[in-house]
């Protein structure tokens, strides 16, 4: 049954009062003091005021007592009785806010209400039992009214003001019990997880403390028994003191050992220190191998492993001679620096740059380690990572020294021209200190953070081209070029090295297949055209595979492979001399060029036609070659050798059109092709040429003479025109090639035209 009451409003901002609750209210706010002072019949309407807004429903409460709290503050004790819905404001005595309030009748109790009340009471009793609050449990057990039971939730400390305000506003007791069950179950689930986490943490801490105590006791027992670390594995101080380390490295290692002894075994830092100490102790700081003193035997090993390459072999023998003299005199370092060399082997693919490293190490009597640099983009790969990084490692140079087990190995830096750079740094810049003989005696790896002497290491670097090696890095290396092999050298390599290796891979015996020298020469000259021997080895492998099939099908051994039978194994030759065919008409000249695969023959074609005068260039020519065409045409016109080309539409083409071409060595060939077109005199089919030309007709020197002459020799040319100033480069050419080529050093384009063009008489007679 409801009734309407006129009551002063007592607002609460920090709590919510539900029916049945007896709570103290501080009399610190003016509106609270006004409500208490103006109360008639000792009744007030307690209303929550959250976020500055009054709730729609409050609680009619009785003022039980007015006094002071233990802290001395004035307070009033109120007891909530029943819910009341706030109506309109009315006037009343004092300065308090008076309103009309209509009490809210309790909703009827149903069977579901009783079930919910029973379930909620069980949850509350379970929670109170965990806390040991037995007196409160007795009071809860005596409550039979579901509404009264639900309103006891006002005492729950884990319910916030919003939840309690929602309970106050809910007039249906069944709905209040449903909300309480939902919130209580969520709270119990959260509490269970929290207690589990706390238990795990407590258990882990107890386990760590127990293990620490046991370890301390074990260490003390071992110390008393004199059996402290019998294996010596964990006693880093003893290992460092027993190791043969340089003095500065020993000091740094003992400092880290001190940190390790003070650190906990569970500390991450102790793991980093152990890894660093293991790395330091694994490096062979003072371990070296003795270089061979027998120069004759060293040269024999190099000659047996590789045909040709006299420049490299002579340089290595010189290195051995110097080292042996220093060793005999007892000189380890000169001016604080070692005599280690840094040789860069530059040449096309397949000439044996990488395999030469193993031969060099065997000839010197040193350990060999290969470091592949192709595609490396992270500077830390060279200098190592800082120890603060997770998974930090020393750089590849330090790892190579550790792998070799000596401080003077042969380290092959393979594909140094293919080192990249990105946001992680420039590895080629990190190599500057490694490859500088004047600096690498104090190389400092970021991981080690101590000086490492690399001056006794023989570094061999391999590259395919000079252009892609950074200039400062190239300046620190002694360059030795491997320009390729002659046909005779290829036959010797095939006979002595490639054929025995491929016989083993094909599962054949040396007596099963016999190759004639003519067949080997044909494979090298007519089936492959390269500076190296990689394609030659593939050709031999193909012949041997087919021979294996023939033997398995019953053919008699040995199988003879000669010039006549080679076609049955490899098909018709892929490379035949074409200079005579291509230069049979005026306007075509044979040039020589250097590509990434070595030297090659290049044909330059020119033609003229009726139409508007102009010049068309095709063949993916670079700016330098385009300028060479213009210079050649201007020179011919200035000398009166252009004929009627000035009134014609000219087209200059350099096959193949899909391959980009550029370089400062095509001027002579361009001039010859245009002069041939203007005069109607074809270029001699046996002549190849290289060189740049000026507007005054001077022939300028160029690079790659050896590779170009080897390419001319492979292509079957007999006469080669080179700049006069390149004549000293002929000293690098094998005698066998010079004996078969007529080399014409020239200084003026007029001499080139006189040598290259057919005579006018022979053209007319033809």
Residues 19-61: tens digit of each pLDDT: 888 888 888 888 888 888 877 668 888 888 888 788 888 888 8
How sure is the predictor about 366, in pLDDT bands with cuts at 50, 70 and 90? confident
So what's the pLDDT on residue 594?
Answer: 81
Q: Which helix (H) or strand (E) holds 120?
A: helix 111-131
Contacts of 670 (CB under 8 A, 6+ apart): 589, 604, 625, 628, 629, 631, 632, 652, 693
Mean pLDDT value of segment 5-20: 86
- 608 and 693 within one domain: yes
Distances in whole angstroms, Cα of residue 224 to Cα of each of 88, 221, 235, 632? 89, 5, 16, 95
So what's the pLDDT on residue 655?
Answer: 83
Tell me what percent of the residues of the chain surpass a pLDDT of 70: 93
Q: Does 145 fall in a domain?
A: no
Residue closest to 692 by CA, chosen among 707, 704, 705, 702: 702
Per DSSP, the residues of 666-698 read: -HHHHHHHHHHHHHTPPBPTTEEE--EE-TT-B
Mean pLDDT value of segment 432-453: 82
Is the pLDDT reported for residue 341 higher than 80?
no
Q: Is 8 annotated as belonging to a binding site? A: no
- 554 and 529 within one domain: yes
Residue of 656 and 762 predicted with greater confidence: 656
Mean pLDDT value of segment 579-602: 78
So what's the pLDDT on residue 229?
Answer: 53
pTM: 0.61
At residue 748, the 3 state secondary structure works out as strand
Quote the domain boundaries for residue 251.
236-282
So what's the pLDDT on residue 335?
Answer: 38
From 313, 490, 661, 708, the catalytic residue: 708
Is the pLDDT reported for residue 404 higher than 70?
yes
Q: Is 349 annotated as belonging to a binding site? A: yes
Q: Kindly state the DSSP code that residue 587 receives in the 8-state scheme.
A: T
Q: Does 66 fall in a domain?
A: yes
Is the pLDDT reported for residue 379 higher than 80?
no
Q: Does 206 fall in a domain?
A: no
Residue of 591 and 422 predicted with greater confidence: 591
How sure is the predictor about 657, in pLDDT bands with cuts at 50, 70 and 90? low
Q: How far apart are CA 220 and CA 16, in angstroms?
A: 62
Is the pLDDT reported for residue 337 higher than 50?
no
Which neighbouring-strand residues pair with 595? 598
Q: Does 394 fall in a domain?
A: yes
How sure is the predictor about 369, in pLDDT bands with cuts at 50, 70 and 90? very high
CATH number of residue 344's parent domain: 3.40.50.300
Give alpha helix (H) positions in 309-426: 310-329, 353-364, 380-383, 396-404
Q: How far apart are CA 736 and CA 709, in angstroms?
A: 12
- 424 and 300 within one domain: yes
Mean pLDDT value of segment 642-665: 80
Is the pLDDT reported for residue 484 higher than 70?
yes
Residue closest to 699 by CA, chosen among 709, 689, 707, 708: 689
Q: Is 352 annotated as belonging to a binding site? A: yes
- 587 and 566 within one domain: no
So what's the pLDDT on residue 187?
Answer: 85
Q: Are 478 and 339 in contact (CB under 8 A)?
A: no
Q: Is 595 annotated as belonging to a binding site? A: no
Mean pLDDT value of segment 615-643: 85
Q: Does 746 fall in a domain?
A: yes
How sure is the predictor about 760, in pLDDT bands with cuts at 50, 70 and 90? low
Residue of 627 and 268 predicted with greater confidence: 627
- 493 and 439 within one domain: no
Q: Is 193 annotated as belonging to a binding site? A: no
How sure is the predictor about 723, in pLDDT bands with cuts at 50, 70 and 90? very high
So what's the pLDDT on residue 427?
Answer: 82
- 247 and 349 within one domain: no
**CA quadruple 157, 159, 162, 163: dihedral, nearest 10:** -140
State yes or no: is 736 an active-site residue: no
Q: Is 409 annotated as belonging to a binding site? A: no
From 359, 665, 676, 679, the catalytic residue: 665
CB atoms within 10 A of CB 329: 8
So what's the pLDDT on residue 764?
Answer: 41
Computed on alpha carbons and rounded to an integer, the radius of gyration of the chain in Å comes to 48
So what's the pLDDT on residue 113?
Answer: 83
Q: Does 230 fall in a domain?
A: no
Mean pLDDT value of segment 430-438: 80
Residue of 41 and 289 predicted with greater confidence: 289
Q: Does 215 fall in a domain?
A: no
Contacts of 74 (CB under 8 A, 6+ apart): 26, 27, 28, 66, 67, 68
So what's the pLDDT on residue 338?
Answer: 47
So what's the pLDDT on residue 658?
Answer: 63
- Which single residue is written with the structure tokens 């033809």? 766
Q: First and final CA of the chain: distance in angstroms?
A: 136
Is the pLDDT reported for residue 701 higher than 70?
yes
Is the pLDDT reported for residue 465 higher than 70?
yes
How sure is the predictor about 368, in pLDDT bands with cuts at 50, 70 and 90? very high
Q: What are the structure tokens assigned to 573, written together?
A: 């030759």
Q: What are the structure tokens assigned to 387, written together?
A: 């120890």
Q: Are 464 and 349 in contact (CB under 8 A)?
A: yes
Is the pLDDT reported for residue 136 higher than 80?
no
CATH number of residue 542's parent domain: 1.10.8.60
Mean pLDDT value of segment 413-429: 79
Q: Does 430 fall in a domain?
A: yes
State yes or no: is 196 an active-site residue: no
For the chain, the average pLDDT equals 82
- 492 and 615 within one domain: no
- 673 and 594 within one domain: yes
Q: Are 47 and 31 in contact (CB under 8 A)?
A: no
**CA quadruple 58, 59, 65, 70: dihedral, nearest 10:** -60
So what's the pLDDT on residue 765?
Answer: 40
Q: What are the structure tokens assigned to 124, written together?
A: 């509350």
């Amino acid at each position: 049954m409801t009734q309407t009451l006129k009551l002063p409003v007592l607002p609460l901002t920090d709590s919510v009062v539900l029916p049945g609750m007896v709570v103290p209210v501080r009399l610190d706010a003016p509106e609270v003091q006004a409500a208490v002072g103006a109360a008639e019949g000792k009744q007030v309407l307690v209303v929550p005021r959250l976020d500055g807004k009054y709730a729609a429903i409050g609680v009619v409460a009785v003022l039980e007592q007015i006094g002071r709290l233990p802290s001395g503050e004035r307070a009033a004790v109120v007891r909530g009785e029943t819910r009341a819905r706030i109506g309109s404001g009315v006037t009343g005595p004092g300065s308090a806010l008076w309103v009309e309030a209509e009490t809210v009748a309790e909703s009827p109790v149903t069977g579901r209400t009783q079930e919910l009340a029973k379930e909620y009471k069980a949850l509350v009793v379970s929670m109170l039992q965990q806390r040991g609050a037995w007196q409160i449990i007795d009071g809860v057990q005596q409550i039979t009214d579901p509404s009264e039971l639900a309103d006891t939730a006002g005492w729950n400390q884990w319910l916030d003001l919003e939840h309690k305000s929602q309970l106050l506003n809910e007039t249906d007791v069944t709905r209040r019990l449903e909300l309480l069950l939902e919130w209580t179950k969520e709270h119990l689930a959260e509490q269970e997880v929290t207690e589990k986490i706390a238990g795990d943490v407590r258990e882990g801490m107890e386990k760590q403390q127990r293990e620490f105590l046991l370890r301390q006791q074990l260490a003390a027992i071992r110390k008393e028994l004199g059996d402290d670390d019998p294996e010596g594995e964990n006693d880093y101080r003893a290992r460092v003191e027993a190791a043969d380390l340089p003095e500065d490295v020993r000091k740094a290692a003992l400092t880290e050992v001190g940190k390790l002894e003070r650190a906990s075994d569970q500390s991450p830092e102790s793991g980093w220190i152990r890894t660093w100490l293991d790395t330091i102790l694994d490096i062979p700081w003072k371990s070296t191998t003795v270089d061979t003193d027998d120069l004759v035997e060293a040269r024999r090993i190099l000659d047996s492993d590789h045909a040709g390459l006299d420049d490299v072999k002579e340089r290595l023998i010189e290195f051995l001679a110097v080292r042996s003299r220093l060793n005999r005199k007892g000189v380890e370092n000169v001016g604080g620096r070692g005599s280690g060399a840094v040789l860069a082997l530059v040449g096309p693919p397949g000439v044996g740059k990488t395999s030469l490293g193993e031969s060099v190490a065997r000839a010197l009597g040193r350990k060999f380690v290969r470091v592949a640099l192709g595609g490396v983009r992270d500077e830390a790969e060279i200098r190592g990572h800082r120890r603060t990084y997770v998974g930090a490692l020393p750089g590849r140079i330090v790892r190579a020294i550790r792998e070799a087990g000596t401080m003077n190995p042969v380290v092959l830096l393979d594909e140094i021209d293919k080192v990249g750079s990105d946001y992680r740094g420039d590895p080629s810049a990190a190599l500057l200190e490694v490859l500088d003989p004047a600096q690498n005696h104090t190389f400092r790896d970021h991981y080690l953070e101590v000086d490492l002497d690399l001056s006794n290491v023989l570094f061999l670097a391999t590259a395919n081209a000079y252009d892609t090696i950074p200039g400062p890095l190239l300046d620190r290396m002694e360059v030795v070029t491997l320009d390729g092999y002659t046909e005779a050298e290829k036959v010797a390599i095939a006979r002595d090295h490639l054929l025995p290796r491929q016989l083993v891979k094909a599962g054949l015996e040396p007596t099963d297949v016999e190759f004639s020298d003519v067949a080997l020469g044909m494979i090298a000259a007519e089936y492959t055209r390269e500076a190296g021997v990689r394609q030659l080895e593939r050709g031999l492998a193909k012949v041997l595979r087919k021979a294996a099939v023939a033997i398995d099908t019953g053919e008699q051994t040995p199988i003879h492979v000669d010039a006549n039978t080679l076609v049955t194994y490899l098909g018709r030759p892929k490379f035949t001399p074409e200079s005579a065919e291509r230069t049979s008409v005026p306007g075509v000249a044979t040039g020589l060029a250097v590509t990434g695969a070595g030297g090659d023959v290049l044909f330059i074609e020119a033609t003229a036609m009726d139409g508007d005068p102009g010049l068309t260039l095709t063949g993916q020519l670079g700016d330098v070659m385009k300028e060479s065409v213009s210079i050649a045409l201007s020179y011919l016109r200035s000398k009166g050798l252009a004929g009627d080309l000035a009134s014609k539409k000219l087209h200059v083409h350099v096959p193949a059109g899909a391959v980009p071409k550029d370089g400062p060595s095509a001027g002579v060939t361009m001039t010859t092709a245009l002069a041939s077109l203007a005069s109607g005199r074809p270029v001699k089919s046996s002549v190849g040429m290289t060189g740049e030309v000026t507007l005054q007709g001077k022939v300028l020197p160029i690079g790659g003479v050896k590779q170009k002459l080897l390419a001319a020799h492979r292509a079957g040319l007999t006469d080669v025109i080179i700049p006069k100033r390149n004549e000293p480069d002929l000293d690098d050419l094998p005698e066998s090639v010079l004996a078969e080529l007529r080399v014409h050093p020239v200084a003026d384009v007029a001499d080139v035209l006189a040598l290259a063009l057919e005579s006018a008489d022979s053209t007319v007679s033809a």
